[in-house]
Chains A and B, each alone.
Chain A
Amino acid sequence: AQKVTQAQTEISVVEKEDVTLDCVYETRDTTYYLFWYKQPPSGELVFLIRRNSFDEQNEISGRYSWNFQKSTSSFNFTITASQVVDSAVYFCALFRPGGSQGNLIFGKGTKLSVKP
Chain B
Amino acid sequence: SAVISQKPSRDICQRGTSLTIQCQVDSQVTMMFWYRQQPGQSLTLIATANQGSEATYESGFVIDKFPISRPNLTFSTLTVSNMSPEDSSIYLCSVEGGRDEQYFGPGTRLTVT
For residue A97, which residues in chain B have a CB less than 8 angstroms away from its CB?
100
Q: Mark A78-116, 1 if CB is under 8 A from B, else 0.
A: 000000000000010001010011111011110000000
CB A87 to nearest CB in B, in angstroms, measures 16
Contact A103 B33 (CB under 8 A): yes
B92 within 8 A of A: yes
B90 within 8 A of A: yes
A-B contact count (CB 8 A): 55
Contact B33 A44 (CB under 8 A): no
Contact A95 B102 (CB under 8 A): yes
For residue A43, which residues in chain B have a CB less than 8 angstroms away from its CB?
90, 106-107, 109
Contact A35 B41 (CB under 8 A): no
Contact A109 B45 (CB under 8 A): no
Interface residues in A9-49 (C-beta closer than 8 Å to B): 33, 35, 37, 43-45, 47
Contact B45 A103 (CB under 8 A): yes
CB B4 to nearest CB in A, in angstroms, measures 10
Contact B100 A33 (CB under 8 A): yes
Contact of B107 among A44, A50, A95, A108 (CB under 8 A): A44
Cα–Cα distance between A109 and B45 once the two chains are bound (Å) = 15
Residue of A with least CB distance to B108: A43
For residue A47, which residues in chain B have a CB less than 8 angstroms away from its CB?
1, 101-104
Q: Assuming A101-B33, A101-B56, A102-B96, is B41 touching A45 (CB within 8 A)?
A: no
Cα–Cα distance between A109 and B104 once the two chains are bound (Å) = 16
Contact of B104 among A44, A101, A107 (CB under 8 A): A44
Top 6 nearest A-B pairs by Cβ distance?
A45-B104, A101-B48, A44-B106, A106-B42, A103-B45, A108-B42
Apart from A47-B102, A91-B43, A107-B42, 4 more pairs, CB < 8 Å: A35-B102, A37-B104, A97-B100, A102-B100
Instruction: Report which B residues bind A (CB closer than 8 A).
Output: 1, 31, 33, 41-45, 48, 56, 58, 90, 92, 94, 96, 99-107, 109
